[in-house]
Amino acid sequence: MNTALVIGVLATSIMSGASLLYATLGEMIGERAGIVNLGLEGIMLIGASTGFAATALTANPYVGVVAAAAAGAAANLIFAYLVVGRSANQLAAGLSLMFFGFGLSALLGRPFVGALTHSLPRLTLSGLEPNGTAARLLSHDILVYLALPVALLIWWLLFRTRWGLQLRAVGEDPAVAFAAGLKPNVLRYQALTIAGVLGGIGGAHVSVALALTWVEGMTAGRGFIAIALVIFAKWNPLWAVAGALLFGGAEGLQLQLQAAGADVSPFIMNMLPYLLTLLVLVLWGWSRQLAAPAALGRSFVGVE
């Protein structure tokens, strides 16, 4: 156990976890409103490709992130229209969105494969010794620094504002909410728009900050990890932060261990987050805890 390893793992967890966290928070908002979006991977890919393309075109990574957010929101609106406006089956719509994302991102990203871009700059406190411990832990791009505040913001939004209260009510029982005078469909559209923005940003972080490039399918299942994370975090943004660090760390841990000379199977390590989530779910089921929004997955057909 050397310190370089520990520092390295922490730094990777933070970097890797940031993109996961954004996507998780987005999915969480949608699920709090009762909509499960299996197409999150597609949204992230659209964000990653759009972000990278926009950065390459404008030489400005911030523009790239904004473009990714917009693209993510636009794509998610298609999904929103289908499941909220047309009461379509959420799973089928989500999977369709996933394939859409695979295809659209491949098309968008293709001219930009291999392009050299300015990555999101790392912001460091001046006066820190480069490659020293503090520098390693504290030099990240702006999206990483914003991740925690955004999580807190989402928590506050969901649990301390009227809007959040209404949203959660819709997620629990849209019929009752409707009867109480709320507009479930409007709230759901709003939630899914935010989810699209966050998912797009999560994807952009992978291409513009982490890997500094674009290849087809580059988010490599992060969207699904995020869906698992929402469950793991019990639909609570604060737990999502811990979960994102954990899942982000697991991914980087095995690479760090290799560099330090330890022998560990990357496959076993990568399995752990999923198995852990499953275990946690079994335990909750055992203790009869119902954490999920009661109306998750069901569409609401009412009269607007």
Residues 91-110 touching another protein, rule: CB under 8 A, are 91-93, 95-100, 102-107, 110
Closest of 44, 40, 70 to residue 203, by C-alpha: 44
Among 8, 64, 72, 293, binds another protein (CB under 8 A): 8
Looking at residues 30 to 59 of the shown chain, list those that interact with another protein (rule: CB under 8 A): 38
Q: Give the per-residue contact string, 146-175, with another protein (x = CB under 8 A; - = no).
A: ------------------------------
CB of 84 within 8 A of CB of 187?
no
> What letter does residue 30 receive in the DSSP assignment?
H
What is the C-alpha separation between 187 and 266, in angstroms, rounded? Answer: 42
What is the C-alpha separation between 5 and 11, in angstroms, rounded? Answer: 10
- Closer by beta carbon to another protein, 185 or else 213: 213
Among 282, 289, 294, 302, binds another protein (CB under 8 A): 282
Q: Which among 56-64, 179-187, 238-246, 282-290 is the span making contact with another protein, rule CB under 8 A? A: 282-290
By CB under 8 A, is residue 183 in contact with another protein? no
By CB under 8 A, is residue 130 in contact with another protein? yes
Among 77, 128, 157, 281, binds another protein (CB under 8 A): 281
Q: Which among 62-70, 173-181, 205-213, 234-242 is the span making contact with another protein, rule CB under 8 A? A: 205-213
What is the C-alpha separation between 123 and 101, in angstroms, rounded? Answer: 31
| Angle of helix 90-109 versus helix 61-80 axis, rounded to 10 | 150
CA distances from 228 to 36, 95, 164, 195 (A): 11, 16, 22, 16
Strand partners, 140: 123
Residue 249 tokens read as 């760390």
Looking at residues 236 to 265 of the shown chain, list those that interact with another protein (rule: CB under 8 A): 251-252, 255-256, 258-261, 263, 265
